Chains A and B, each alone.
Chain A
Amino acid sequence: MIKSIIGLYHQRSQFFIELLLQHLYITSVCIVITTTVGLLLGLLMTRHPLIAAIVLRLSSVIYTIPSIAIFGILVSITGIGLASAIIAIVLYGLLPMVRSTYTGLTEVDDEIIEAAVGMGSGQRHLLFWVRLPLALAVIFSGFRTMVVMTIALGGIASFIGAGGLGRAIWRGISTNYAEMTIAGSLLIAAIAIVADLILEYIEKRVRIRYLGEEG
């Protein structure tokens, strides 16, 4: 089996490279959007408790809906293709991103905040010089979860015509070609593992740099 999978990578290298690049493109777009929206929402939530309650509840509810069902619902609204896939993946990725941003920012020691305000920090200084750096480690751990999740979910995106490595899985399932299915899955898993290892290393550096801990 392993031999035939390696053989498959060798024979269809062009096909797999193309799918890999598509997958990286889709997940990169989703990661950028999720990070931006997640950070902004998290920030907004720290200023408006009502918005915080609504967003946290809503994102938890989205989490309980099976991903395939979300794709189904979105296809009926935004049609088959990349747009639906990106919306669904972003919706899924928002919870860890929003929660970590919100938690990170609200858990900064009140005494530190008061010291910064008492010394004359404006809102902008307080956010960029004090709160965000001190929340960075927590935000980054949410970012890491989101990235791994987005890479994995990218595999399902091809089921609604978005491309990516899920196409190899889909093709393997529909033609009963197990090697193809496994070859596609292995590549997705490999990207996720590599990304996780890199981000784990960066997270450790961030923790040491900003909090002086490895936790």
Chain B
Amino acid sequence: MSPWAIEFDHISKSYTPEEVVLTDINLSIKAGELVVLLGHSGCGKTTLLKLVNKLLDFDSGYLRIHGKKISDWDIEQLRRSIGWAIQHGALFPHMRIWENISYVLRLQGVEKNRRRERAAELLQVVGLPAEYLDRYPRSLSGGQRQRVGVARALAANPSIILMDEPFGAVDEQTRLQLQQELLQIHARFGQTILFVTHDIHEAFRLGDRIVLIDEGKILQAGSKEELVFEPASERVSSFLGTKGFSALLDDELLCDLHAQVQSGSFDPDLCLQRLAAIKGPALKAGPSASDRSP
């Protein structure tokens, strides 16, 4: 069995000859890895994600899921075996919460009682009370709907989960909570997760590995430390707001920064502020992370 859950091999895609979305993407994702695709809106990260469950087709290259070419998969079976969570949850408004969560199981022909049981288990996993099972999505808050969306992605016990800005539409506090819960779920079940976001902080909190994408190309794919301390190009460091970091940092600060990056609490803006306080005019602060995030 291939150690790679997903392999993009020289993948390119364009909508029209003038509108090239992805150029020569090479990326291999290990089974059990949580990889974050980070980039501005329109950089191609969602397109890349949608190639995996074949919601979109690519023009050239190879895409393998668990070592098997995507063209060799039965498309409906493949989709049913991949969890899919998107922004706003995209819950079915006419179905109760348990029906929403167990939708894929219904597609797989699982009988009703078993589906309801599974939905109850998952509701617990995402921290919602069991009495929500028979409610409709409209009676839930944005954060609760996102949780149900995550539960739905987990329903069929998929080995791969695709998440397209699933926490994009909730307030910061709820988002932090959802991110923590996702990390706990990932630690517990160990699925391969491909997570799309434009938020640098979210990427640093979640990713085992971060793939920075710009204009349809991968600028750098690496660990958080690699991105911050060994940027592949100036574009990487200017995207992250870490341009010139290493040269300015003294040993103590560098150590502190390493710890922050490792724990996922790295915040380029805070670092810049701290550096500016020490170095004063020597540091020319780039745009803040919030400015860079669309």
Contact = CB atoms under 8 A, between A and B. Distances in A.
Nearest to A112: B90
A111 B90 contact: yes
Interface residues of A, number: 21
Contact of B79 (A117, A209, A210, A212): A117
A121 B78 CA distance: 11
A121 B104 CA distance: 8
Specify the main secondary structure of chain A where it touches its partner.
helix
Given A111-B88, A115-B86, A121 B93 contact: no
B80 interface: yes
B80 A119 contact: yes
Interface size class of B (residues with CB under 8 A): 20 to 34
A121 B107 contact: yes
Nearest to A134: B94
B30 to A, nearest CB: 23
Contact of A210 (B50, B90, B94): B94
Nearest to A206: B94
B145 to A, nearest CB: 12
B55 A211 contact: no
28 contacts: A109-B90, A111-B86, A112-B92, A112-B93, A114-B55, A114-B86, A115-B84, A115-B86, A116-B103, A117-B79, A118-B53, A118-B84, A119-B79, A119-B80, A119-B152, A120-B76, A120-B104, A121-B107, A122-B76, A125-B107, A129-B106, A130-B92, A134-B92, A209-B94, A211-B93, A212-B93, A212-B136, A212-B138
Interface in A78-128: 109, 111-112, 114-122, 125
A211 B94 contact: yes
A130 to B, nearest CB: 6
